[in-house]
Amino acid sequence: METRDKLLILIVVAWIGAAVYFKSTTDQMFARMDDMEQLQIKHVDDVNKEFRSDLKTLNLQFIGRGKHLRKAQKDIVFNTQRINHVTDSLGRNIETVALDLENFQRDTEQSFANEAKAREDHKTDFNSFKRQQRRFIGDLDQRLTTVETDVTDLNERVPPKEVDEKKTGRNR
């Protein structure tokens, strides 16, 4: 397996890892949004049930009493304001999550684009390096051939030195 194949496998694995990470992150965000929606629905139902229960009790016990009717009206206004406040708060939270998702998507797309550009730059650099190395090896081969030719030529021009027996005997 060549280095190129290994690099491509590594890139594919990185893409798969990024996709899995993106998928798990979005799944978590969607699960969180579903939980928030369920909590909102439950809260509204609880408030409505509580309100209806209190209103029914008041109506049955205190029919015709203005004091209790005013209290019920105030409770209605308070509960309505509370529902509006919770709805607004949840709406802001949902908008914030949507904005965060958009930012995350934009950042992820930018990261993938940057990685693709970096990969292309590395590929170009690597190809350039390969060409330089081929030229350098070719130059070395040429120099080696030239040196071998020069050595052969010198060996042909210069006769081998004859060893003087007297000198060799003394040096030993």
Tell me: the pLDDT tens digits for 34-91? Answer: 999 999 888 888 887 887 787 777 766 666 666 767 888 899 999 999 999 989 999 8
Confidence category of residue 162, pLDDT binned at 50, 70, 90: confident
Q: What is the mean pLDDT of residues 100-118?
A: 94
How much is the mean pLDDT over the chain? 87
Look at residue 43 in the predicted model and tell me its pLDDT: 86
- Read off the DSSP letter of residue 65: -
| Amino acid at residue number 47 | V
Question: Residue 64: left if φ>0, alpha if ψ -120 to 50, beta else—which one?
Answer: left
Tell me: pLDDT of 114 over 70. yes
Could you tell me what percentage of the chain is helix, strand and coil, using 3-state DSSP and rounding each to the nearest 5? Answer: 90, 0, 10
Domain ranges of the chain: 3-120
Look at residue 110 in the predicted model and tell me its pLDDT: 95
Rg over CA atoms, the chain: 43
| pTM: predicted TM-score of the whole model, two decimal places | 0.36
For 6, 8, 11, 19, 126, the CA distances from 3, given in Å and listed in that order, are 5, 9, 12, 24, 12
Q: What is the pLDDT of residues 11-36, one digit of tens each?
A: 999 999 999 999 999 999 999 999 99
Q: How far apart are CA 126 and CA 119, in angstroms?
A: 10
Look at residue 23 in the predicted model and tell me its pLDDT: 95
